Amino acid sequence: MGARPRRTQIEADAKRFEELKADLARIGYFSKGTLQARMVKCGKSKCPCGVDPKRRHGPYFEWTYKAQGKTISVRLTARTAPLFQAASTQYRKLKSTLARLEKLSRQAITRLAEQADSDSPQ
C-alpha cells in the first residue's frame, strides 16, 4: 500500500474515532441490569389468577443486577421502571460504542505503526 492511501485511511480513522468519542459524550445515565415486568398469582384459592394466566396480578417491576458477585433485585413502581429501562439501554449503547472504539483503535494503531516503519530509513 502506498503512502497516500495509508495517510487517507489514517485520517479517516481519526475522524471516525472523534465521532465515536462524541457518541460517548451523548450517553446519559447508565447501569447494567435487567428490568422485568412480572404477572403473578396471589395464591388465594378463589382468585381467578390461579387458573387464568390472563387474569394474573401486575405487572410488578423488578430491576436485577450483579454487585460484588451477588444478584441484587429491586422492586420498582410503574413510574420508575422506565428510568431503569433507559439506563439499561444506555449501558448497552456504551458497551457497543466502547467495543467499536477499541476495534478502530487497534486498526488505527496498526496503520500508524506501518506508516512509521515505511517512513523510517532502513
* 17-71: pLDDT as tens digits: 999 999 999 999 999 999 999 999 998 989 999 889 899 999 999 999 999 999 9
| Gap between the Cα atoms of 121 and 44, Å rounded | 85
pTM of the entire structure? 0.77
Q: What percent of the chain has pLDDT over 70?
A: 94
pLDDT of residue 108: 92
Would you state the pLDDT for residue 3? 53
CB 86 within 8 Å of CB 28: yes
